[in-house]
Structure 1
Amino acid sequence: MYQLLSVLLGGPPSNELLGGLASLQGDETPLGSASRNLAVLADRTTSPDAEREFNNLFVGVGRGELLPYASYYLTGFLNEKPLADLRRDLRARGIKASDDVKEPEDHISTLCEIMAGIITGEFVCDSDLASQKAFFDAHLAKWAALFFTDLEGAQSAVFYAPVGSLGRAFMAVEADAFAIQ
């Protein structure tokens, strides 16, 4: 789920990704319902429409409707203490940013990608449950659900509204699961 959210929030989806998303199924849980809604909208959305929506939401002229950065959500400003804390944590874990990444590391897409990498053992750092929980608590728990709620209700969001629902529901599942630890 983290990898899917990372891809969807890192750039507009391709026709191939939209086709794959259209085959999602779900159940009556919040996560299942969001998956079904995403499938319906993916089936109706073209890649150019998704790109236009992505740009309106996250790029815009000057800025998009939403700023998907931990620093912004936690302090009201970009490139603040949450980014510095994240960079310190990444250095301690031996995780380095890719040279081709232009966004600050506290972008929601990057944080989801890092979390996915920790879970799958992609990075040389500890990937046990305690390490996953520590990263989630430090860098996602305090703001990601609010971001996804904002995405769900964003004025420009059509295809991305169920992405917000999916992310919000998933963050709730993760918070509940980590609370058990």
Structure 2
Amino acid sequence: MTNQEALMENPSPAHEITEEDRLRADLYDYLGVILSRPPEQKLLDQTAGLSGGDTDLGTAIGALARIAGHSKARAVESEFNALFIGLGRGELLPYASYYLTGFLNEKPLAGLRRDMAARSMTRAQNVYEPEDNIASLMEMMAGMITGRYGKPASLADQKQFFGKHIGPWAGHFFTDLEAATNSVFYASVGAVGRVYMDIEAQGFRMSAG
């Protein structure tokens, strides 16, 4: 999987965005971090402190917090490796190209690279992971919302990017993660991701952008 610094950030001043967009970006960033590498105990402890609500997303976050409170970093690292690394390959291949075509490094990756270039997103020099992995795409969405790569993207641009590179497959990936044989902690991550992708898709469908 990619590390969380897979994309070089263009230095830019902080941008004012709505509280709703800040919360959206925070959840995208969290999913990017938790899917990029095994979490340290500090992140698990912080996750255990999250509180949910009565919504589907709140319920999923509450369940994630509860299991994080009973999880140890070493066990979650073993789970991560079984899911995403394994001997030769892990249980899941978290790449858009694979989910959309059945093969790695296919047309979806080429299209993503073109759209990244148009938005001044650049892969870091020391990262060799294909850019269409789920962790990097979550990070990209967070950066577009907050203006990490220049200025905050318009809702129309977010909608276009999500609809092309995330919406067609991320929900399927998170459903697979939730049900994977090796998923324990990550089953709850999958549930949060699945519900959140559905919320985002519905929001974009309702937007005029």
The TM-score, its normalising length taken from structure 2, stands at: 0.85
1:171 to 197, 201, 208: 197
Q: Which amino acid aligns with 1:17?
A: L
Residue 169 of structure 2 is matched in structure 1 by: 143
How far off its partner does 1:100 sit? Answer: 3.0
- Which 5+ residue runs of structure 1 have no aligned equivalent? none
The Cα shift of 1:126 comes to 5.8
Aligned structure 1 segments of 4 or more residues deviating by more than 3 angstroms: none
2:110 equivalent in structure 1: 84
Matched, 1:75 2:119: no
Give, as a single letter, the amino acid of the residue that structure 1 aligns with 2:149: F
Secondary structure of the corresponding residue to residue 99 of structure 1: coil
TM-score, scaled relative to structure 1: 0.97
- 1:129 matched to which residue of 2? 155
Q: Which residue of 1 aligns with 2:137?
A: 111
> Is 1:94–1:125's contact at 8 Å kept on the other side of the alignment?
no
Distance 1:54 1:166 in 2: 17
- Quote the offset at 1:92 in angstroms: 1.3
**One of 3, 26, 31 as aligned partner of 2:52:** 26
Is 1:7 aligned to residue 33 of structure 2? yes
**Corresponding residue for 2:5?**
none
Summarize deviations over 1:31-89 as a string: whole Å, max 9, x none: 11111111111111111111000000000001000000000000000000000000011
Q: Which of 1 and 2 has higher RCO (CA within 8 Å, sep 6+)?
A: 2
SS of alignment partner, residue 122 of structure 2? coil
Task: State the identity %.
Answer: 53
Of residues 78, 81, 87 in structure 2, which corresponds to 1:61? 87
- Structure-2 separation of matches of 1:28 and 1:156: 28
Q: Shift in Å at residue 99 of structure 1? A: 1.9
Write the distance in 1 (CA, Å) between the matches of 2:152 and 2:30: 22
Number of aligned residue pairs: 181
SS of the counterpart of 2:111?
A: helix
CA contact (8 A) 1:6 1:109 kept: yes
SS in 1 for 2:123: coil
Aligned-residue CA RMSD (Å): 0.9
The C-alpha deviation readout for 1:104-140, integer Å capped at 9, x for no partner, is: 0000000000010000001126611111111101100
